[in-house]
Amino acid sequence: MRAKQYDAVVIGAGFSGLYMLHKLRERGLSVRVIEAADGVGGVWYWSRYPGAKCDSDSIFYNFTFSEELYKKWRWKDRYASQPEILEYLNFVADELELRSDIQFKTRVTEASFQEEEKTWKITTDTNEIIEAKYLISGMGCLSTTNIPPFEGVSLFQGEQYHTGRWPHEQVDFTGKRVVVIGNGSSGVQAMPEIAKEAKELTLLMRTPHYVGEARNHLLSKEQQDEAIANYKEIRDAFFTTPGGIRMFTTGKSATEFSAEQQKETLDYVWKTGALALGSAFPDIGVNKETNNVVAQYVRDKIDEIVEQPETAEQLHPDYYITTKRLIIGTNFYEMFNEDHVHIVSLKDNPIERIVENGVKLRNETIECDVIVYATGYEAMTGSLLKINLQGRNGQTIQEKWEKGRNVSTYLGLTMENFPNFFMITGPQSPSVLTNMPSAIEQHVDWIDQCIGYVESNGLQTIEAQQNAEIAWGKQCDDLANSTLFPQTNSWYTGANIDGTQRGFVIYVGGLDSYRKICDQVAERQYEGFTFEKAFQGIVKSSMQ
């Protein structure tokens, strides 16, 4: 079979893939985006569970690279719902006329670097072979769903759904007994909606989490106009803040305030909503005292809201707040005051297996008609490890990363032995600790510039140097180890997936600092990279 040839192949048509396609096409490259779904949207195509919303203020949850594009769109809600975000991404695809270069309903199964030709040979599940000089992953960090390997899943006689692979048709819970496994962002958003219809709703909870208030509301015409008028400020936040988003902050440690002032601040955050529990006192991630002030505040709120003291106690989280992804919700704690909503702690009573009529725990069986798995994702590395990706000399990514236990990248963007391969929001980049569109724009812009450099210098390949990769890994580890993050087992550390336990693979220094590092690497002629030039051999760009 004759291979199709492109300059670049991009995997995924979510925020990352759409913008990457646009940039490379503007550069005059031929690009093919390969997308498994039959539409654009990435994770927002699949996560159609009831209540699905982004938890960044929607005015920041969009592209800012084009003022014209930004000003053509108005968000309806303070936090955009999944249908609205999907509508936005379809709007982007139409405005930028991207669809003609996207191949839907196709999955990349294999990609291997061809030493002789210096190209990537990409195989799809539709048995196509595509060759491209550049291969770019736009698969994101949270797209491969995690269904824990419970025994008996196929025996269950009722309906079963995963929040990250929700059916397109509305699921009717009316009069049904529903079990939800998992209370991360997805479970917390879905449960109050399911509780409106279900006859019984039981949360099977492994770890209680901190849930702040979202305070969603419709945006008034004035608020929409203001967001549009504030384009420059919104874009500025992408560049100058650690999270790529403007958040409320006192700018000081909680320890600098009296107990009354701390409470006043946190009352304000609770009343106004958003993820600001994590930003009100910027040392929350490093100072145990500040951390405890905020954590205790949430525990007190739980006691205030939840009427049954035993239930409130069950819901008390005890890890360092923000070391697992902070959650915001609507009516989450209030929901447990309703007679038909129950909670079963899995702490001393774990799930043993799924049975025909429900979920068998060690001490009891919870009978139900529907099981909702809100059990999250094989975060950070899952999607990349699913593809048979082979770099130089046939080294696979599974070998390089020891099946996810020893992740190693340069800048979270590239890897030694994988020339001309780039990851958008890959592990060891700020990714999930930021407003995702901010991180995506920064990565795509950098990759685009880098490809421009390779092309304009007549180079064949660019590849991370081993010493640069080792130094980057150390920098990420040192930063993470100076925080409270590694002290909690979470999907940040891969601890949610059996056997994937690894270090903390996110750059915690903030998007603003990270951007400076990436820019400096580029300014120094791509320091830490090796290039190959046709007929002239290898050129090294030195590390300092």
Please select the residue that binds ligand NAP; options are 74, 121, 206, 342, rule is CB under 6 A. 206
Lookup result for tokens 């709120």:
301
The position carrying tokens 């590092």 is 517
- Specify whether the CB–CB gap between 195 and 179 falls below 8 A: no
Nearer to ligand NAP among residue 24 and residue 85 (C-beta): 85
**Nearest distance from C-beta of residue 204 to ligand NAP, angstroms:** 6
Amino acid at 44: W
If the CB atoms of residues 92 and 371 are measured against ligand NAP, the closer one turns out to be 371
Residue nearest to ligand NAP (CB): 184
Instruction: Please name the residues in contact with 373: beta carbons below 8 A apart, sequence gap of 6 or more.
Output: 147, 148, 160, 161, 162, 163, 181, 182
The amino acid present at 465, given as its one-letter code, is Q
Q: Per CB under 6 A, does 184 bind ligand NAP?
A: yes
Which part of the chain contacts ligand NAP (CB under 6 A), choosing from 5-13, 16-24, 370-378, 523-531? Answer: 370-378
Q: Is there binding between residue 438 and ligand NAP (CB under 6 A)?
A: no
183 part of the interface to ligand NAP, by CB under 6 A: yes
Which helix or strand (DSSP H or E) is residue 119 part of?
strand 119-124
319 lies in the binding site for ligand NAP (CB under 6 A): no
| Position among 119, 207, 409, 425 found at the interface with ligand NAP (CB under 6 A) | 207
With the CA atoms of 467, 469, 470 and 474 taken in that order, what torsion angle do they form, in degrees rounded to the nearest 10?
140
Indicate the DSSP class of residue 40. Answer: S
Residue where the block lists tokens 């929607």: 58
Which span sits near ligand NAP by CB under 6 A: 69-77, 185-193, 387-395, 415-423?
A: 185-193
Please give the radius of gyration of the chain, using alpha carbons only, rounded to the nearest integer. Answer: 24
Half-sphere exposure of residue 312: CA atoms within 13 angstroms, side-chain side:
14
Helix (H, G, I), strand (E, B) or coil at 135: strand
**Does 138 sit near ligand NAP (CB under 6 A)?**
no
Confirm or reject binding of residue 376 to ligand NAP (CB under 6 A): yes
User: Can you say how many angstroms the Cα of residue 3 is from the centroid of all Cα atoms in its chain?
Assistant: 33
Pairing type for strands 129-137 and 421-423 reads parallel
* Cβ–Cβ < 8 Å for 95, 72: yes
Note whether 351 binds ligand NAP by CB under 6 A.
yes
* Segment near ligand NAP (CB under 6 A); pick from 52-60, 281-289, 418-426, 535-543: 52-60
Here's the x/- map for ligand NAP, 481-510, by CB under 6 A: it reads as: ----------x----x--------------
Q: Give min distance, CB of 217 to ligand NAP, in A.
A: 16
Q: Does 148 bind ligand NAP (CB under 6 A)?
A: yes
| Binding status of residue 381 toward ligand NAP by CB under 6 A | no
- Of 222, 198, 201, the residue nearest 59 (C-alpha): 222
CB nearer to ligand NAP: pick between 9 and 433: 433
- Rounded to whole angstroms, how far apart are CA atoms 451 and 455? 6
Closest approach of ligand NAP to the CB of residue 21, in Å? 23
Kindly state the helix (H) or strand (E) to which residue 32 belongs, with its residue range: strand 31-34
Residue 4 binds ligand NAP (CB under 6 A): no
Minimum CB separation of residue 439 from ligand NAP in Å reads 12
Strands 211-213 and 108-114: unpaired
Q: Is 203 in the site for ligand NAP (CB under 6 A)?
A: no
Kindly tell me which residue out of 186, 425, 442, 493 binds ligand NAP, with binding defined by CB under 6 A. 186
Q: Which is nearer to ligand NAP, 186 or 408 (CB)?
A: 186
Q: Applying CB under 6 A, what is the total number of residues that bind ligand NAP?
A: 26
- Write the single-letter amino acid at 219: L
List of residues contacting ligand NAP (CB under 6 A): 53-55, 142, 148, 163, 181-187, 189, 206-207, 325, 346, 351, 374-377, 432, 491, 496
